[in-house]
Amino acid sequence: NAGVTQTPKFQVLKTGQSMTLQCAQDMNHNSMYWYRQDPGMGLRLIYYSASEGTTDKGEVPNGYNVSRLNKREFSLRLESAAPSQTSVYFCASRTGKNQPQHFGDGTRLSIL
């Protein structure tokens, strides 16, 4: 009963490096989301995928790209990491609108 699984759990990058954060859900959910959480800022939506084959920008998409690989998997890519992208990243999924979201335990990313 894994739910939403995020890998890796921790990562340290140097400025300019690239990296892909992985997210997989086993609940047959249609919609998947990527958030970042910074102190005092709550959660901010980066990108989301309402259904397989679609992706849309959220509130803070600059510097990120996403891929909805299949119904289960939704990855987040940082092409050229910047210190401002140091954050905790959460992936979430849900069946659809007006339903609760299920969250992974996050990826803690530090960019030096």
Partner 1 sequence: SQQGEEDPQALSIQEGENATMNCSYKTSINNLQWYRQNSGRGLVHLILIRSNEREKHSGRLRVTLDTSKKSSSLLITASRAADTASYFCATEDQGGKLIFGQGTELSVKP
Tell me which residues touch partner 1 (CB under 8 A): 4, 31, 33, 35, 40-45, 50, 59, 90, 92, 96-106
Q: Provide the token pair at 25.
A: 């859900």
Give the torsion sign (CA, 23, 28, 32, 36): negative
The least distance separating partner 1 from the CB of residue 100, rounded to whole angstroms, comes to: 4
Residues 6+ apart with CB under 8 A from 97: none
The least distance separating partner 1 from the CB of residue 47, rounded to whole angstroms, comes to: 13
Nearest residue (CB) to partner 1, 72 versus 102: 102
